[in-house]
């Protein structure tokens, strides 16, 4: 087999292998019924931010049968529409961009806790730093 053809087959096989072992791409929508326990507005507190403690509000709603969400914080008080929402086990994962130029990739994971509480994890800059928090459902 000519070298160029062999390299093409190797590249194709490697690509198929990566596709087979990589997790499925993040869903941009989750059926509202699958996120029912997260519906509502959540007051989240992160005590260990690089600039001190701060608060985040995550509002999860149903929109045409799909899950939608907006996030605001002490740093970005104007609600930001979440572009990618996924389920990972029992967790709801919200991916969005924030910051002055909208250049900070943020992954906010909500994990059910007891009653109307959630545990939360905020990852910034594709894992450059992360922090754990907790939240309660706003009444």
Give the Cα separation of 107 and 127 in Å (integer). Answer: 9
Q: Which structure tokens are listed for 11? A: 């590249």
Strand 117-124 and strand 54-63: the pairing is: unpaired
> In the chain, what are the domain boundaries?
32-137
Average of per-residue pLDDT across 108-122:
96
pLDDT at 17 over 80: no
Look at residue 2 in the predicted model and tell me its pLDDT. 53
pLDDT band at 32 (very low <50, low <70, confident <90, very high): very high
Task: Give the strands of the sheet with 91-98, arranged side by side.
Answer: 80-81, 66-73, 54-63, 40-46, 129-137, 117-124, 104-112, 91-98, 84-88
Tell me the pLDDT tens digit for each residue of 75-114: 888 999 999 999 999 999 999 998 878 888 999 999 999 9
Percent share of the chain, pLDDT over 70 = 80
Look at residue 51 in the predicted model and tell me its pLDDT. 75
Task: Indicate the pTM of the whole model.
Answer: 0.77
Contact 101, 108 (CB under 8 A): no
Q: Which CATH number describes the domain made up of 32-137? A: 2.40.128.20
Within 10 angstroms of residue 123's Cβ, the number of other Cβ atoms is: 17
Within 10 angstroms of residue 128's Cβ, the number of other Cβ atoms is: 9
Beta bridge partners of 107: 95, 123
More confident residue, 3 or 137: 137
Look at residue 39 in the predicted model and tell me its pLDDT. 97
The top-scoring range by mean pLDDT among 24-28, 51-55, 85-89 is 85-89
């Amino acid at each position: 087999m000519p070298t160029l053809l062999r390299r093409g087959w190797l590249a194709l096989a490697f690509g198929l292998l990566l596709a087979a072992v990589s997790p499925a791409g993040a869903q941009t929508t989750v059926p509202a019924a699958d996120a029912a326990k997260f519906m509502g507005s959540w007051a989240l507190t992160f005590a260990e931010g690089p600039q001190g403690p701060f608060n985040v509000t995550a509002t999860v709603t149903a929109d045409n049968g799909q899950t939608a969400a907006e996030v605001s914080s002490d740093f970005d008080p104007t609600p930001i529409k979440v572009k990618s929402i996924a389920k990972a086990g029992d967790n709801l994962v919200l991916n969005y961009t924030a910051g002055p130029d909208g250049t900070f990739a943020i992954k906010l994971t909500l994990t059910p806790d007891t009653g109307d509480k959630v545990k939360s994890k905020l990852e910034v800059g594709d894992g450059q730093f992360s922090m754990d928090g907790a939240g309660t459902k706003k009444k």
